[in-house]
Copies of this chain bind each other. A is one copy, B any other.
Amino acid sequence: MDLTFDTISAEEYDEHRRRFDPLTDALRALIDVGIHTDVDDSTVLLALEHLEEAHALLEQKVRTTRSTLRHADTGRAVVWGNPAIGLRNAIAPPMEVHREPDGSCWSEFTLGPMYEGPPGRVHGGICALLLDHLLGEVASEGLNLPKFTGTISLRYVRGTPLGPLRAEGFVERSEGAKTFARGYLKDADGATVEAEGVFIMPAWARDAGRSA
């Protein structure tokens, strides 16, 4: 597994986002209208022609490097493809994770109809996806340590409404290679889902740490 970090300069990062953010946003809007559209056959076919044209243009050149990037100024991981935080993955809200000096993390985001399970509510599995990711960031100190989810348990306190939400997470304690993290998904009235996870540094990373 390649966990190499390459550096991206602040200028290159800004330029990359300026170029590709509108594309990802356009795809998010299309996913939404794709669920709800009720146009007739011929209109679907016309739309498909445009989508195929766009696809042909975009696949003219694709990245093949898969290394993890680190922002030259902030030192933080830059993630394009991840389904929770990936800035260029249209299925991600995306969560933008903020890290406090004490290591706790939080993120505020808005979830629309593409994340709906029961009517008007966020799918419980989407809550799990976002909390799993946030606790993983907490445990790995912002994706800087290779830690993998061992177990995660989620308690659904009540339905999570679609709309603006906040996720929070922090490390409770560490024992050897294990880190115990806890977090919450909240709406304006408080917690809707509670999560606790155990994250584990794999043996190869512990060995690498000893030999470094």
Residues of B within 8 A of A1 (CB): 118-120
Task: Give which listed residue, B31, B38, B60, B119, contacts A91 with CB less than 8 A.
Answer: B31
CB pair A89–B31 under 8 Å, yes or no, is yes
CB pair B119–A130 under 8 Å, yes or no, is no
For the complex, give the distance between the alpha carbons of A51 and B44 in Å. Answer: 13
Task: Give the size of the chain A interface in residues (CB under 8 angstroms).
Answer: 80
Given contacts A61-B37, A124-B132, A156-B150, contact A27 B30 (CB under 8 A): yes
Task: Give which listed residue, B27, B89, B128, contacts A125 with CB less than 8 A.
Answer: B128
Interface residues of A in 63-88 (CB under 8 A from B): 63, 66, 80-84, 86, 88
Residues of B within 8 A of A63 (CB): 36-38
Residues of B within 8 A of A62 (CB): 33, 36-38
**In the complex, the 8 A-B pairs of residues with the closest C-beta atoms, listed nearest first:** A125-B129, A125-B132, A128-B128, A50-B54, A91-B91, A37-B58, A153-B153, A50-B50
